[in-house]
Structure 1
């Protein structure tokens, strides 16, 4: 019997005991009602009252024993489950999908094998304090849902698709539309085609494992916007450093070294503060084009998390975090890259297209669509 089947059987058994407990508690209510009725005429119901008192005691004892059994079985199930793969929390999944715990519990929970348990009390559930791991303890403390790791991975594989885009150049000569119309209508056509396209190649087992192990960090566009703001702060700081250096060089001997050092100190304090104390208002100054340029410059792979007929764009932002985060030199290099953005120049349409939609006849498809737009924009001929 595999782990999932064993856990499911244990959950069924616990539910059956809980149902029996409900029956005992209903019986307790009936016995209490009967006891109160008999007490109204105590002198004539002594024998029946004694029997009910005996039945009440037996029933209460059975309730206590059943509650203790449920507690023990639930504790045993928790220990078995979390040591055999049920070790993914709601927070873990929310972080993986750059989402909220509320979204996971409301939308996704029913899709993934899990156990619901009473509040996990750390002090009562550590088997051996001589071998405890504070990080593991804290992860389990106060949690009430644990997901089965293998099922989480399968869920990711079934709902996450690589939709990396590639820049293509298409010949639009002979299309009698202005450049903006060609560009916007081409984007519109591709967007509608992407909606109809059935992405049937989910991420590989290797990619899913890397996501689970946090070797790949996925971020929504809103998170990327925050990264762009933080990088803007760094780029501004780099420019200010250059200004300080130029002032010092141009005024050699006229400006004291301690004045220059004070400027560097101010700059470092400003940079550190701005990187750590950003607000929604500050981030709102970052526009969509900056976000797209940043994504392209850093080569972030794009994925779609598709669920309930909705697609959420997620980007592989691994190198923006941790030990692989870009240093100042990389930021400058990324910022200086000449990026090809969507445009129409000299009859050539340069546009970014999901790789899954690229095929040999794509140019003709878009040309045919634009011909239809062109003909519909012509004034009606009067007969």
Structure 2
């Protein structure tokens, strides 16, 4: 297979970064790098089918871009074009006459309106209080455990960050540890490109509530206004709620007036994030008939708060690995002593790396597991990951692509 075909399969992950020759331990099913993600496409995807995150692994300044699979612009409506049948005879006549240009133009009168767009939920930022730059940065995505790890040295303190999104507990968790007592001092906050407000709810919890646009024009259509909000209480648009809670061991946490959680001199910290929307079914208005998104989000957050970080992690790994370990593929001779980006470069230059094909295969399985689980919405054309209000292809649900994907899933022992 030509190198360009492999690069198409890499999608959002395997982009070129500065090469450094250091081997990751047990890296057959790991994607690993020595540089933080510079752009969204280089971040590492996590998901439990409903919640999604792209982890940038920036060390002192990290970003987790967030998604929730029911957060779309607009509201349910009748998308039928009642005039479409009237154009069919004219299209046929043009085809029979060999006037394909005319047939193409006339066929556009049979199309319905553009559908709405899948929306980004927001960002979770983690900023360390240090003038120093991180040293020895390492980041990885373990496909088998579904955990994104970032490790770096900051002013003589070794800091480790593990991020996962639990299907059993329906929360995103960030576990931070330092190799020295009191070695963690940082701030964390949430924001969104959508209309939103962030307030504190207690000494260690932030709440971000917002609303999706009532209408979004596709990115490929020139129209003004392209994004329409209806912010009045009775206005159209899906509501969302996101809650962030910090649980430190040692040190203390406080809320800054600017809407940040400040952690000072902690030994370890568990950040828990839960989210939900007012989505109440495909045929119900999320503004007039929607559920209160606070209820489920707070339920998941409170349940996770009363569970130890270690137990949350173990439950997540046991659940995720039970799916991932159903299939193994060993093609031999993996070049996993190289960072993933450097493996791609070497392959493009003609070096043999059969293990790279196996890694791509397992990565495809991982992405489907992370973007589609029982009870969630179907994965769209980009799974559940999107950072744009007007995304490419409006992130539509496309049977032409999704049915073959789901058929292949059953053959890969992933009928769920």
Structure ranking higher in helix proportion? 1
Tell whether the structures are fold-level matches, with TM greater than 0.5.
Answer: no
- Flag the structure with larger Rg: 1
TM-score by length of 2: 0.19
TM-score by length of 1: 0.20
